[in-house]
Copies of this chain bind each other. A is one copy, B any other.
Amino acid sequence: MAVSMDDDVPLILTLDESGSSASAPLDELDREELPNENGGSYDVVSDPSSPAARECCAQQSSARHNWEMNYQEAAIYLQEGENNDKFFTHPKNAKALAAYLFAHNHLFYLMELSTALLLLLLSLCEAPAVPMLRLGIFVHATLELFALIVVVFELSMKMRWLGFQTFIRHKRTMVKTCVLLVQFIEAIVVLVRQTSHVRITRALRCIFLVDCRYCGAVRRNLRQIFQSLPPFIDILLLLLFFMVIFAILGFYLFSPNHSDPYFNTLENSLVNLFVLLTTSNFPDVMMPSYARNPWSCVFFIVYLSIELYFIMNLLLAVVFDTFNDIEKRKFKSLLLHKRTAIQHAYRLLVTKQRPSGISFKHFEGLLRFYKPRMGARERYLTFKALNQSNTPLVSLKDFYNFYEVVGLKWKAKRNREHWFDDLPRTAFLIFKGINILVKSRVFQYTMYTVVAVNGIWILVETFMLQGGNFFSRNVPWSYIVFLTIYGVELLLKTTGLGPVEYLSSGWNLFDFSVTLFAFLGLMALAFNMEPFYFIVVLRPLQLLRLFKLKKRYRNVLDTMFELFPRMASLGLTLLIFYYCFAIVGMEFFAGVVYPNCCNTSTVADSYRWVNHTVGNKTVVEEGYYYLNNFDNILNSFVTLFELTVVNDWYIIMEGVTSQTTHWSRLYFMIFYIVTMVVMTIIVAFILDAFVFRMNYTRKNQDSEEDNGIVLEKEISKEEVIGIIELYKRTSAATETAQLQKIVLQMDKYGQMSTVFLGRRSRTKSDLSMKMYEEEIQ
């Protein structure tokens, strides 16, 4: 048996060879030869302990130690390839390796993230603090110092890993160090003086967050934004140029009209045309001149047509184009980088005797470092999936698929179609019936009808309910009826499909949670738990189910979910910009606007707060705009969001300007331009993602049901037993439990082999690969 197995699965022979009979000097030779190719292995080139190790030559433990080092370095290369880390930051010696390993695990990453967040959150408690969270200067300055010291520690670890030379050359790290220094000095000054000074540099704190390992997406976004900047700025200059020309024209044309406050000076003319660019003051800015001469509207129509409808769209076109181009190039360079990483790893894993491929033993060693939590079964399946040829070795060409294959989740292919196949006959028939019912079109459309009726019901009910008591004690009967129907549907589906299959669909998960919420809402109503009333309000979300009906909506919503991570990172990028501007805004404009301020400006009405008595009723006239202030960081964020939405932003600008100097306008204008850049890129991104997706669907109309990447691999019993033997010999006996279970299963069903399915969801990179196939070749 063992002999025939060796014939079938030669890779175990290879392992036998190197594991028991292979001479250590040969391995040693491998090791000695390989660094020449690679130029950066730890023990041979620079490990001080290596000469000693080499002295007691032919020692097997040394050979194994060498192999372990190789595995680790290969794993590091692969990780660098995955994370798009440049290879010049690759650890160069054993000391660097130790530091590298220390700085590359989730604990360290979490520390990085939490110090960065702590530093950012400090602005909630500092000087213009949120009232509830105000802390004493001593407290928050100490917290800050503490956080900064942690950052110093992190940086020193990084320096140990990178070496001084590389550390100096790494731009981002250098900037971080400088910012750290400034922050440190300022924090100490604050502690000593026991009072906050104008600390605009706090805006730079974001860099600690951006530099976090977990914020790679944000860094990528920022890079993309900066790369899109040059063409953007070109068109922006064109925009501003036309603005200046029109400002001069407008000044000449309209300043003779003394009732026109918008064009009386060149500065006003410029500012108002800038605001007009955002349409924020539109009909108003035209009105005084329009009232005088109806033809003056031509000036504004021409201006808006050129600036708003042409150049602004041009801006989008240019950014979209650059974005597209960058995405393509980025994809290519990423692919190249990954391939280089794979090449590096490959050279570390081949033996001298067999330079044409990697044996399972070495592959397994690599995976032990690359994915420590992967089981023995998965490792073998991954190896099998990679191995396209029938030889026991994985060639470089096969190894190039490493990243695509390593992410697969493996599962034994079940012969049983439904969860109830093993049940007795009667139960089987019942469940089978439910299964058929649940999968039938009639059932689906009935449910859609119910949801639609429910929607109309809610709408009508809400319409009837004009300002009455919304949360009456009596639970409305319609609520109970619909909820019962949904409950029955849920029950039928769960029993018909089996809970696992039911919950594996995103849409079913959505149904489930909405129904659950509705049920909780009912509970809240029935038991009169006031704080949970808000759940009732979520009822209309049921209507979202209707969007399953049409393919385009399914596509849109699917794309939406796919886009979500990237959107979130873009949102975070925007928030980082917000943070910077919020800090600057707070330092300059905190406490500047208040009720009834700004009486000298044209927007005084919006800031009015009058409490006067008409007859015997107190009438409060509120302009409310004093709420849009920079008094603390939360308020600042809301104000900045309002500025992002753009409408009526000039009221906020004018309000602040009238209370400070007219240079404050610069702040608002710069903010507008920055958000315009970010927003344009967000639009370009959404556009790109959807157009890409739609092109993709058009190209692959046959494969409509997209279940992600699926791979099928068959493993025979002999193979499994062979692997168990292998593991037993290499002392990793604990890992064989999973494999032995497979053997038991096979014995139970009398099978000679089991088929495993590897599955993962399709990523953008897979799609890109398919779309750019020709170009990449």
Contacts and interface: CB of A to CB of B under 8 A. Distances in A.
A291 interface: yes
Nearest to A469: B256
Given A459-B244, A624-B291, A690 B297 contact: no
Given A234-B550, A647-B280, A248 B540 contact: yes
A645 interface: yes
Contacts of A77: none
A267 B679 CA distance: 32
Interface of A: 231, 234-235, 238, 241, 244-245, 248-249, 251-253, 255-256, 259, 264-267, 279-284, 287-288, 290-291, 294, 297, 301, 304, 308-310, 313-314, 316-318, 320-321, 324-325, 458-459, 462-463, 466-467, 470, 536-537, 540-541, 543-544, 546-547, 550, 552-553, 556, 560, 567, 605, 620, 622, 624-625, 627-628, 634-635, 638, 641-642, 645-648, 651-652, 679, 682-683, 686-687, 689-691, 694-695, 698
Nearest to A242: B544
Contact of A317 (B241, B550, B687): B687
A235 B291 contact: no
A323 B256 CA distance: 47
Contacts of A297: 638, 641
Contacts of A310: 560, 567, 686
Closest 6 CB pairs of A and B: A287-B624, A317-B690, A279-B647, A282-B647, A245-B540, A313-B686
Contact of A283 (B251, B543, B625): B625
A628 B283 contact: yes
Contacts of A651: 283
Copies in the complex: 2
A49 to B, nearest CB: 55
Contact of A620 (B259, B308, B620, B624): B259
Contact of A265 (B245, B467, B605, B634): B467
Contacts of A683: 313, 316
A641 B287 CA distance: 13
- Among A235, A463, A625: residue with most chain B CB under 10 A: A463
A647 B553 contact: no
A700 to B, nearest CB: 15
Nearest to A252: B537
Nearest to A538: B249
B255 A690 contact: no
Contact of A645 (B282, B320, B625): B282
A93 B288 CA distance: 64
Given A231-B552, A543-B245, A556-B235, A645 B279 contact: yes
A41 to B, nearest CB: 43
B266 A462 contact: yes
B466 A540 contact: no
Contacts of A635: 294
Contacts of A256: 470
Given A238-B553, A259-B620, A641-B301, A537 B321 contact: no
Nearest to A557: B238
Contacts of A234: 550, 552-553
B467 A624 contact: no
A280 B646 CA distance: 9
Contact of A279 (B309, B628, B646, B689): B646
Nearest to A642: B283
Nearest to A641: B301
Contacts of A304: 645
Nearest to A463: B266
Contacts of A282: 642, 645, 647-648
A246 to B, nearest CB: 9
A310 B627 CA distance: 27
- Among A238, A546, A645: residue with most chain B CB under 10 A: A645
A227 to B, nearest CB: 15
A624 B286 CA distance: 10
B248 A687 contact: no
B283 A462 contact: no
Contacts of A244: 459, 540, 543
Contacts of A267: 463
Given A550-B234, A553-B238, A690 B284 contact: no
18 contacts: A245-B544, A252-B536, A255-B467, A259-B620, A264-B467, A266-B462, A280-B647, A281-B647, A287-B622, A287-B627, A288-B622, A291-B622, A309-B682, A313-B686, A316-B683, A316-B687, A317-B691, A317-B694
Nearest to A560: B310
Contacts of A550: 234
A647 B647 contact: yes
Contact of A627 (B290, B318, B628, B642): B290
